[in-house]
Structure 1
Amino acid sequence: MLSLRKDKSEEDDGIGSAYMNVDKSAVLQDARLFNANQPNPRKCIQILTRILCLLNKGVKFSRQEATTTFFAVTKLFQLPNQGLRKLLYLVIKELAPYADDVIILTSSLTKDMTGSEASFRAPAIRTLCKITDPTMVQAIERYLKQAVVDKSPAIASAVLASAYHLMQTCPEVIRRWSNEIQGVVSGPSIMVQYHALGLLYLMRQNDRLATLKLIQKFLQSPLRSSYAHCVMIRIVARQIEEEGLADNRNMVDFLETSLRHKSEMVIYEAARAIIGLSQLTAKELAPAVNVLQIFCSSHKSSLRYAAVRTLNKIATRHPSAVAFCNHDLENLVSDPNRSIATLAITTLLKTGSENNVDRLLKHICSFMTDITDEFKVVVLESIRMLAAKYPRKYSVLLNFLSGLLRDPAGYEFKKAVVVAMESIIKDNPQAKNLGLLQLCEFIEDCQHEKLTQRALYLLGREGPFLNRPRQFIRFIYNRIILESAAVKCTATTALARFGANCDDLLPGILVLLERVMLDDDDEVRDRAAFYHYILSSGDRNLMKEYILNDDTRLNMQALERALLAYTQASEEEQVRPFDLTTVPIEEPPSEGASDFAAIADSSTVGFFEPTIGTGAAATPGTATGKGDGAKVGTAMDAAQGPVGGLGARRQDRFAEELEAIPEIKALGSLFKSSNDYELTDSGTEYVVTCVIHTFLHHIVLQYDVTNTMEDQLLEDVYVDVEVADDEFEVLNRLPIKSLPFNSPAPTYIIVKLPEDASLTTSFANTLRFVVKDVNAAGPNDPGISDEYALEELTLPVAVHMQRVMKANFAAAWDEYGDNGEAEETYFLTKFSTLDEMVRELVAHLGMQACERTDQVGSSEKAAHTLLLAGVFRGGVSVLARCKLAKSQPSAGQPAVGINLQITVRSAVPEINQAIADSLS
């Protein structure tokens, strides 16, 4: 009975309780049992399980510990216990990356792989492929190739799945199995067909013709496996996305046919693929949306979740296509699964019309009480997007958000509410007064110091420019009296901004600052004295420099590198003062960044490893301007580079790489790096992309070259550049010494920028190299000189400019005055809509659109003004105002073209004129 009670107690504790708090030293001590003459299989299984627990929890094994344990484990191969043997395979695979000399186990695993025990063969294959060195694969290739056509589906799937990993280290070996793989892809096994099809595509994805043949073959003969059908859907979707719709209508028909498949998995995959195609219109998306609408009423929660999640994503791009599903989505708001309910309400917010905003908010009020803060934050993001979509509903939305601030909730949720209110206040001039007053009420009883500081900062930025700025002074001064030192400092700065911007309030602000100078905290007193002195002086330049000018924020990592280089420089170089204008700034996030993230889950992502971050640069187009041959660049995403934190990290990585090259380090601090320009098609023999790095007086062209020819070794690889404008001088080129197959490497061209204000030019590129046969290459082989033509590269204005946000564009514009401004007028026939023209100007000039002027609004609008701000290399702040107007139709003919008047202001007239002329 005592033993029964003991077993019952262990059962109550749970099966895995013995593995919850595993100690590494105890496990390593117990592992010595493996060295016994006749180890107990049951105890060995327990010890191996504990080792796996440690490894899966992320516990680090030293090289010596892993090697000792590995060799102790190998001694258990003498035991015939099947359960123990299968566990051995798992432990060996996990220990292999950390242990030395794991290759010694190859013979034992090969014996199991070719043995008569069928249950050992599949795990032995997976383990052997995991530990085998690429140079040893050929020794076991014969056995692996035989296993591909094995009658057992488990064995065939094991070798095919292992081949995915081997493709990364020895692709030429796997490609020799092509005939065997093609044979099993048409076989009866569901899982084997699934793995074989994916592997075939992986082998052929860089060969456009072979990929098309693979697709056409399986479009004509249906696939037996639903899993393989899903893989084919993803392959087809990627092909359509890369090649376009024009010549691939049969592939679109295949996707639509898959919507009627008997498997729900295939139906959903096809719907997701169709919705992920960027070139389809809302009407063409209707069949996929209809399928997802049916899934919304399914009794399976997984299907409901998948459907509403996909509808939520497409609602960002095509809200009208999802609008007729609103009834089904409203039913899902009360779904017991809170994830489904949250996605349903956020989708409704994206698709709802202006008339039903109030009704949706009533839904949300009752809904918000039942969900956690994590889900509430998701809803708030949709509310922010709704406010941008329907600006006239600002009062309803702000009242709703301020009500949420009064509810008991955590910091993250209240921060999300404040961020949503900030977005409405900044983007909608009519909402500023109401929103700021509501934030003033919030900080009167706010328990979160950081949120109080955030609200005070916004008050100092926006409050002085409203009709009655005096009404905010009391709220700000109350924070100085009642709050902590950190909040007092922020409030003092906000007061100073009111004094600098509002002359009628200045005497009262000075009196308040005198009182603050008596505060107990040192920093608060110092700030008050500092601001009091500047405001009392009446010097507008001092006020602008030390109180108002906080639009430009330096990149802290770049500043650290620049200061370190300055302190390590010679005494002669340190005689000159440190120049902050050489330090790049932190660019604001792009307006479309969140929308892109919302739809980035393409139907082709997830099974194959996608190529991310390589945006193709568009080729420049022509338009009629001041002359018949006037040109303007098309949308150059590559010139702008990545946005937000991701772009900063990318530029920091580039800066570190370039500083390691002496010839480039001598150029100074990196100002900006563009995105990738594709100079070849992705499926060609040699794939070349270019990144333009901008310095103060130079640019560096980084050509990333990939050799896709397995039988070739390239040496002395460089790009021969011919510049259209002689004023751009090519100073140096840094070639690639050796370029083996599928190993990308960069070659650099250093170009000196002209002394005058020339900003744009074009580069004719030719890839030159010495090619050798990879099998016959040797030190005495001279090779054959060859060349490869690349696409032309155009240098846009955007590479000279960093984006910066101006909170009050009008004030900044007036500060420069019209002295030295440049103004030009163009008539551009290439563009037919204002929205298209605005996007083009923002991309070409590389400047930040201010006050949401990049949002044109109605397509019927006849005129629009675009306000742009940026920092030119060298730290020169630049503002541009672009007035756009559609040409008026005449004699019954439709209007063709856009009239553009661009005015540029900065402290350097030559830069103004160069930017204004850059569109000609």
Structure 2
Amino acid sequence: MAESAHGVAPDGMKKRDEDSDDGMEFSPFWGIEKGAVLQEARCFNESQLDARRCQQVITKLLYLLNQGETFTKTEATEVFFSVTKLFQSKDSNLRRMVYLIIKEICPTADEVIIVTSSLMKDINSKIDLYRANAIRVLCSIIDSGLLGQIERYLKQAVVDKNAVVSSAALVSGIHLLGVNADVVRRWSNEVQEAVNSKNPVVQFHALGLLHQIKINDRLAVSKLVTQLTRSPVRSPLAQCLVIRYVAQVIKASTAESGGEGGERPFYDFLESCLRHKSEMVIFEAARVITDLNGVTPRELQPAITVLQLFLSSSKPTLRFAAIRALNKVAMIHPLSVTNCNIDMEALISDSNRSVATLAITTLLKTGAESSVDRLMKQITTFMSDIQDEFKIVVVEAIQSLCLKFPAKHRTLMNFLSGILREEGGFEFKRAIVDSILCLIKAIPEAKESGLAHLSEFIEDCEFTYLSSQILHLLGDQGPSTADPSKYIRFIYNRVILENATIRASAVCALAKFGQNCPQLRPSILVLLKRCLYDNDDEVRDRAAFFVSALQELGRDGDENSTTSSTLAKFDTPLGALEASLRAYVADERFESQAFDLSAVDHTPEAPPTPKRGAGAAKKKAAESASAPAPSVDAELESARALVASMPQFAHFGPVHKSAPAVELTEAETEYAVSCVKHVFTNHLVFQFKCTNTIEEQVLEDVSVGMELIEGEDGLFEEEDTVTLPRMPLNASGSTFVAFAMPDPAKHVAAKFACILRFTSKEVDPSSGEPEEDGYEDEYTLEDVDVSTLDLIKPSGTANFRKQWDESPEENERVDDYGLGTRESLEEAVDAVSTILGMAPCEGSEAVPPNARSHATLLSGTFVGDVRVLVRLNLGIDANQNVAMKLTVRSSDPAVSDLIHQIIANA
């Protein structure tokens, strides 16, 4: 094949270009075109075949096919029929190329019949090479309907004495399982016989096929695994397969028993494989043991011992495999790996950089606090010898180590700042900056040194993104430090020396110092005024805005003035702002009123839900395809903006929360009515969106009568009703009912009966105008429920622990609850979060696989701007029963009691 490939190169390519580098390599397939190759393929029809030339042409055809070149049906058919004529050649190399091209062309069912006889002749040939290749080709192109005709030959090939023929039949059987599994399942006896073959490759392929045949029968698989563990196979490859099948059985049995209930099955077999003579079997057994769910340190010890021996192996592959497995173990069981630290330290100087990087990161996970300084010295010399992709891994490991040992933050921060000044690409620099930012947020003591290192870094930073990110951080964190003035020089240098994007970021950072540091404000104004003459429009505009705002702030002398709030962070969700602006522009009533930013809902937008496998993705796609054009969120924002702008409700204050619309009528009824609940501080407004679907009828004076049928008296007091003047055919409009809530904290649950009242007028078909006289009518709607969940909106917090410590401890309420049987802790967390309507914080909603206990943090805001913080401590036993400890803190003790009441009544 090598000779064939080089024979394809045109003569012009045999000479190097005079202008090219001496070390440049050229592709032997350069300049190949489909049309020219198809012309060359006519050599297949010659009476005197040139085997070497035919091989070269087939090689070109295979190259074009593998490069994605498409052949028309006519071209493929012509090539196929020409190739079939090459079966008359006795050249073995050409015959192998014919097999390859037939497989790649994939002839149609009609064309397969033509070549079947030639392939069947080769299957019955005395030349084993022909037999094996003919089996592979025939099984890859044959139709499932014709498979039964050649089944007898394939079953004979499975038990053939020649290993090549037997392996070809077995591998073909694995592929045919997806085409016609019933036929392949009838080979079980022959495949079982092949499992006992003395040839290691045949045994390997036979075992793989036998497992695939029985894979849907768990009992049969369990029996097969039990049989194989009692009489081990000879082939190391097959033994590795057995170990993997054992791992699957262990996982299934552990899932059924809930991780409890006695000794782990087949563990003794896995432990015995650690003493196998083949290194691949030993490693496979060790890897499976370390990956077992809920593995104990005692079970890990034998596997760790053999992996430790591999660390000193002369083979790089063994060292890499062992250190990678230990690195994975160190994430969950770091103490079990500490005995290997001496061997791993020796690998820091390994010639294979992948091995050395894994050794460093593993040591950082397993090392004690006392060994940090020694490790840093070793890593310092190591970092200069590796590429950026390995450096990023080390930086991430150092970040984790610093979070583990906060007392060592000074040493680790100095190391990060040192490598930050070294040469490196953008991704490497960004990883270091992100790590320093993380440490600044997590370790208050590291704030001053971290900001100092980043300030020095931007003096020579060549990446605009990182400079802007650091300037933003300095603007946020710098004013609150002990000496904020020392950062002004670093920031203003960027205004003088950098590009327009960085200059604009620096102007914003300076303005934040001017806003939050009154003693520095005069100096900041001087620097900002210099920026008024900048060449860039954006920089000038920002400077002019901040100069004006800071001057007005200085005149007001009030840090809480309107100007101060203008300079504050813009925290309005853009989606809500867009929906409010669209409603403002579309509604005629807004023409005489200015847009009110305070009316926009400030609830943080929920993060996108992570995907959970292909099924969830397909379901999501189906839901998206069937959903109406306008999104539910957009409609809800539009409704919230509408009710917030109505003068009847202006004295209610800002909208706290709007609940999603609920349909109050069945589909395809005379009238379509939906209800949206808008919660204010001490009021509840029901918005009923009504649509008339009856032809030749107009509804006027539309309103909804509401009566409390469930709930305590005095919780709601009806204040106002806004009627809908007119509702023509297929036109929508809204009517409103407002209730006062004197004490929302006492609210638990309520239900209202609703009746749609209106005046119905017939429409004259000739004129299209409604008649003067009408009649009053009413239509019973579905009941509307109000729950405490309507009064709580999810609101995340960046620092849950700080918020928790600041909440009054005397308002804390603690109680234990049983949540019954659940599939997993993740399901229990989702259920409780949904019941409470609160947002998870700091990623605590993510439950580790097979976890037996978990803690989740929730945050929300109760009506009246009452911050509510919840800690959930959940545990699950062997019977899948979930117990929960619920701890609540808020600024109002009545709200804390109410949260517990929600769970108790759920």
- TM-score range, shorter-chain basis? 0.5 to 0.7
Q: CA deviation at 1:378?
A: 1.9
Deviates more, 1:168-177 or 1:100-109: 100-109
Correspondence 1:587 to 2:587: no
User: Could you give the per-residue CA deviations for residues 769-788 of structure 1, whole angstroms, max 9, x where no partner exists?
Assistant: xxxxxxxxxxxxxxxxxxxx
1:46 and 2:44 are equivalent in the alignment: no
Corresponding residue of 1:280: 295
| Residue matched to 2:152 | 142
Whether 1:903 aligns to 2:903 is no
Partner residue, 1:827 = 815
- Within the candidate set 185, 198, 201, 2:208 is matched to 198
User: For residue 618 of structure 1, what is the aligned residue in structure 2?
Assistant: none
Count of residue correspondences? 706
Give ranges in structure 2 of 5+ residues lacking alignment.
1-9, 17-21, 554-558, 637-658, 664-738, 750-788, 848-853, 875-882
Aligned-partner SS, 1:827: strand
Give 1:261 deviation, angstroms.
0.8
User: Which SS does the other structure have where 2:191 is aligned?
Assistant: helix
> Corresponding residue for 1:917?
902
Query: TM-score scaled by structure 2?
Result: 0.66
d(CA) in 1 for partners of 2:615 and 2:522?
Answer: 48
2:311 to 273, 281, 296: 296
Letter in 1 for 2:569: L
- The 8 Å contact of residues 807 and 851 in structure 1, kept in 2 or not, is answered as no
Q: Secondary structure at the match of 1:826?
A: strand
- Pairing partner for 1:241 from 225, 248, 251: 251
Task: Give deviations 1:36-80, integer Å, cap 9, x for gaps.
Answer: 333311011122223334444555656665555444433322322
1:368 to 383, 399, 407: 383
Give the C-alpha shift of residue 252 in structure 1. 0.9
- Please give the residue correspondences for 1:425-464 in structure 2 after superposition, counting only pairs within 5 Å: 425-464=440-479
User: Is 2:424 the partner of 1:409?
Assistant: yes
> Separation in 2 of the partners of 1:74 and 1:190?
35
Give 1:357 shift.
0.5
Q: Does 1:116 align with 2:123?
A: no
Measure the CA separation in 1 of the matches of 2:900 and 2:506. Answer: 39
* 2:642 maps to 1:660: no
1:219 equivalenced with 2:219 (yes/no): no
Preserved CA contact (<8 Å) 1:868 1:879: no
Measured against aligned partners, the alpha-carbon deviations of 1:326-373 in whole angstroms (never above 9, x if no partner) come to 111111112222221221122111111111101001001111122222
> Structure 2 vs 1, CA of residues 420 and 649 (structure 1 numbering), >3 Å: closer, same or farther?
farther
Q: How far does residue 288 in structure 1 lie from its aligned partner after superposition?
A: 0.2
- Higher deviation after alignment, 236-245 or 377-386: 236-245
Q: What is the percent sequence identity of the aligned residues?
A: 42
The Cα of 1:552 is off from its aligned counterpart by 6.8
Amino acid at match of 2:625: A
The answer to whether residue 550 in structure 2 is matched with residue 519 in structure 1 is: no
1:261 is paired with a residue of what secondary structure? coil
Cα separation, 1, equivalents of 2:77 and 2:865? 60
Q: Mark the runs of 5 or more structure 1 residues left unpaired by the alignment.
A: 1-5, 589-640, 672-694, 700-754, 760-796, 856-863, 887-896
Q: What is aligned with 1:418?
A: 433
Structure 1 residue 112: Cα displacement: 2.4
**Residues 283-320 of structure 1, C-alpha deviations (whole Å, 9 max, x = no match):** 32010000001111112222111111111111111111
Give the AA of the match of 1:226. Answer: P
Check whether the contact 1:229–1:266 (CA below 8 A) recurs between aligned residues. Answer: yes
Secondary structure at the counterpart of residue 813 of structure 2: strand
In structure 1, the residue matched to 2:372 is 357
- Equivalent position amino acid for 1:587 in 2: P
CA separation of 1:372 and 1:89: change in aligned 2, threshold 3 A: same
1:772 corresponds to = none
- Residue by residue over 1:735-773, the C-alpha shift from the partner in whole angstroms, topping out at 9 and shown as x without a partner, is xxxxxxxxxxxxxxxxxxxx99999xxxxxxxxxxxxxx
1:24 pairs, out of 7, 13, 33, with: 33
Q: Which amino acid aligns with 2:152?
A: R
Is 1:96–1:131's contact at 8 Å kept on the other side of the alignment?
Answer: yes
| Distance in 1 separating the partners of 2:631 and 2:426 | 47
| Cα displacement (A) at 1:255 | 0.5
Aligned twin of 1:331: 346
Matched, 1:849 2:832: no
In 1: Cα distance, 2:235 partner to 2:486 partner: 70
Name the SS of the counterpart of 1:162 in structure 2.
helix
* Change beyond 3 A, Cα 1:458–1:853: farther
Q: Call closer, same or farther: CA 1:838–1:152 in 2, change over 3 Å.
A: closer
Contact 2:871 2:887 in 1 (8 A): yes
- Structure whose CA Rg is larger: 2
- How many angstroms apart in 1 are the aligned matches of 2:27 and 2:825? 67
Aligned position for 1:548: 569
Distance (whole Å) between structure 2 residues aligned to residue 502 and residue 903 of structure 1: 33
Do the aligned partners of residues 581 and 664 (structure 1) sit closer, same or farther apart at CA in structure 2, a change above 3 Å counting?
A: farther
Q: Is the 8 A contact 1:426 1:851 kept in 2?
A: no
In structure 2, how many angstroms separate the alpha carbons of the residues matched to 1:169 and 1:363? Answer: 57
**TM-aligned CA distance change 1:918 to 1:812, over 3 Å:** same
2:203 maps to amino acid: Q
1:174 Cα deviation (Å)? 2.3
Matches of 1:391 and 1:134, distance apart in 2: 65
Cα deviation, 1:60-111, whole Å, max 9, x if unaligned, reads 6566655554444333223221111112222332333999966754443333
Question: Which is bigger in relative contact order (C-alpha 8 A, separation at least 6)?
Answer: 1
After alignment, is 52-61 or 24-33 more displaced?
52-61
For the pair 1:343 / 2:329, whether they are aligned, the reply is: no
Measured against aligned partners, the alpha-carbon deviations of 1:662-682 in whole angstroms (never above 9, x if no partner) come to: 5898867799xxxxxxxxxxx
| Deviates further, 37-46 or 200-209 | 200-209
Q: Letter of the aligned partner of 2:323 in structure 1?
A: V
What CA distance in whole angstroms lies between the structure 2 residues aligned with 1:170 and 1:822? Answer: 70
Deviations 1:872-904 (A, max 9, x none): 9xx999964346999xxxxxxxxxx99743136
Matching residue's letter, 1:271 = A
TM-score by length of 1: 0.65
TM-fit CA distance, 1:238: 1.9
Contact 1:70 1:99 in 2 (8 A): no
Q: Distance in 1 between matches of 2:185 and 2:290?
A: 33
List per-residue Cα deviations over 1:569-617 (Å, max 9, x = no partner): x999x99x999989995739xxxxxxxxxxxxxxxxxxxxxxxxxxxxx
Q: Distance in 2 between matches of 1:876 and 1:84?
A: 85
